[in-house]
Amino acid sequence: MQTKTRLVLAIASSALFDLTESDAVFRRQGLDAYRDYQIAHEKEPLLPGAAFDLVKKLLTLGQGNVVDVEVILLSRNSADTGLRVFNAIQSYELDIRRAAFTGGSPPFRYMKPFGVHLFLSSNPIDVVDALDNGFAAASVLSHCLEATETPTIKFAFDGDAVLFSDVAEQIYQREGLAAFTAQEQAAADEPLPRGPFAEFLTRLHEIQQHYDAEAMACPIQTALVTARSAPTHERVVKTLRSWGIRLDESLFLGGMDKTEFLGAYGADIFFDDQAEHCHLASRVVVSGHVPHGIKNLR
């Protein structure tokens, strides 16, 4: 019998629950008022946030015999103000047992000890910290979407600056489409460098292989949704092949809006380095902005 593959998701309280009201108190009145507000509303349940449904699906996946899933709460709250969050976790019967409450300090320091594979937050600063320290991370956009009914978890990824580095995108931004196309054709047999989500995709692929080996229906699907088109698709295909990665679906859209395609695919979450693409896609799927690469120079 194969050993379970471990998958660890770290999530900020702002991505798991809707903290709009309490955040407004903090911004208008400061930390002391925020602390008082959270304590006064400690027993009031929080509404689900952008990544709530994804977390529920992942925790259900972890109840099987193939994947060891753990979701860890990484929060800038103190333990005192964070008690409301844990009360909400218990009220929704989410199997989240470990947490780090940093009291306002950057939470990325605890990702390595926890063995985190993916970090989701609504705080762009924390996401950038995580990316800069080698972790897959995204800033999830708020949404008002119904959860997908299927138990299958569908991940959708942009290519350049997400799965791959932005070396090709840099050429496109500096020299234009013709130079980008010529470069990618010339380098078709040269694998693209790995991007911030390459390791996370590899982990998902390892999980999929367990199900393939046991002839079980795999509850995880992956898709590439990229603005690339032929002939620049060849380098992408050969890069993934060199990594030993099999994607379930690949969409080469040639610059078309990705929104309808993501809806048709039924993605549970979509990762893209361009904020505009994420905002458009958030109308139909949960979107995670990956502030990495030349389009996000700070």
Domains and CATH numbers, the chain: 5-140 (3.40.50.1000), 153-296 (3.40.50.1000)
Among 18, 129, 158, 166, which one carries the catalytic annotation? 158
Q: What is the mean pLDDT of the chain?
A: 91
Q: Report pLDDT digits (tens) over 247-298.
A: 999 999 999 999 999 999 999 999 999 999 999 999 999 999 999 999 888 5
Is residue 80 predicted with pLDDT exceeding 90? no
Per-residue model confidence (pLDDT) at position 51: 95
Beta strands (DSSP E) in the chain are 5-11, 67-75, 99-101, 118-121, 137-140, 153-157, 220-226, 249-252, 269-272, 287-289
Q: Report pLDDT digits (tens) over 125-164.
A: 999 999 999 999 999 997 666 666 678 999 999 999 999 9
As a whole number, mean pLDDT of residues 41-59 equals 92
Q: How far apart are the first and last CA of the chain?
A: 48
User: Is 158 annotated as catalytic?
Assistant: yes
Per-residue model confidence (pLDDT) at position 145: 63
CB 293 within 8 A of CB 160: yes
pLDDT-derived band at 229 (thresholds 50, 70, 90) equals very high
More confident residue, 9 or 213: 9
Per-residue model confidence (pLDDT) at position 212: 65
pLDDT-derived band at 3 (thresholds 50, 70, 90) equals confident
Cα-based distances in Å from 123 to 106, 160, 222, 250, 288: 11, 23, 25, 30, 11
More confident residue, 2 or 76: 76
pLDDT-derived band at 215 (thresholds 50, 70, 90) equals low
Per-residue model confidence (pLDDT) at position 244: 96
More confident residue, 292 or 77: 292
Per-residue model confidence (pLDDT) at position 213: 55
The Cα–Cα gap between 82 and 103 comes to: 9
Q: Report pLDDT digits (tens) over 101-124.
A: 998 899 999 999 999 999 999 999
Q: What is the DSSP letter of 111?
A: H
SS3 of residue 219 by DSSP: coil
As a whole number, mean pLDDT of residues 48-60 equals 94
pLDDT-derived band at 85 (thresholds 50, 70, 90) equals very high
pLDDT-derived band at 25 (thresholds 50, 70, 90) equals confident
Per-residue model confidence (pLDDT) at position 272: 97
Per-residue model confidence (pLDDT) at position 144: 62
The Cα–Cα gap between 127 and 118 comes to: 10
High-pLDDT (> 90) share of the chain, % = 73
Per-residue model confidence (pLDDT) at position 1: 47
